[in-house]
Amino acid sequence: MRLARIENPSIPNKYGAGSDFAGNVSGILGATISFILAAGGIAFVLMFMIGGFQWITSGGDKDAITRARSRIMHAVVGLVILFAVYAILKLLGQVLGVNLISIKLPSAI
């Protein structure tokens, strides 16, 4: 007589039934990378706006203009680095056959 085992399919187990460990890890990794890229984009916008505001309110002070210009330049360099990271991750994903930049949200249906 064979005993039946009852398992919850949403909880991974050590036998592999109902588990998708690689899918879970790639989903978490993709969500983390997407969050970091989005946070970098938001940081760029904020730094650019702060630098612009500093420039406008500098009142002709050369030192204040230099600091504002420096903040704007650093924001643009950060954005270039962010785009480079995105391109490298897309290229690496194509080579490895894995989508590294994705968020898979569960459907409501």
Predicted pLDDT of residue 93: 80
Secondary structure string (H, E, C) spanning 19-77: CCHHHHHHHHHHHHHHHHHHHHHHHHHHHHHHHHHHHHCCCCCHHHHHHHHHHHHHHHH
Compare 85 and 104 and report the one with higher pLDDT. Answer: 85
Given a contact cutoff of 8 angstroms between Cβ atoms, the answer to whether 46 and 53 are in contact is no
User: Largest alpha-carbon pair distance within the chain?
Assistant: 90
Whole-model pTM: value is 0.66
Burial class (CB in 10 A: 0-12, 13-18, 19+), 45: exposed
**Least confident piece of the model among 2-6, 46-50, 103-107:** 103-107
In angstroms, rounded to a whole number, what is the distance separating the alpha carbons of residues 92 and 98? 8
Predicted pLDDT of residue 51: 96
Asked whether residue 47 carries a pLDDT value surpassing 60, the answer given is: yes
Compare 24 and 34 and report the one with higher pLDDT. Answer: 34
- Average pLDDT in the chain: 80
In angstroms, rounded to a whole number, what is the distance separating the alpha carbons of residues 29 and 70? 33
Asked whether residue 86 carries a pLDDT value surpassing 80, the answer given is: yes
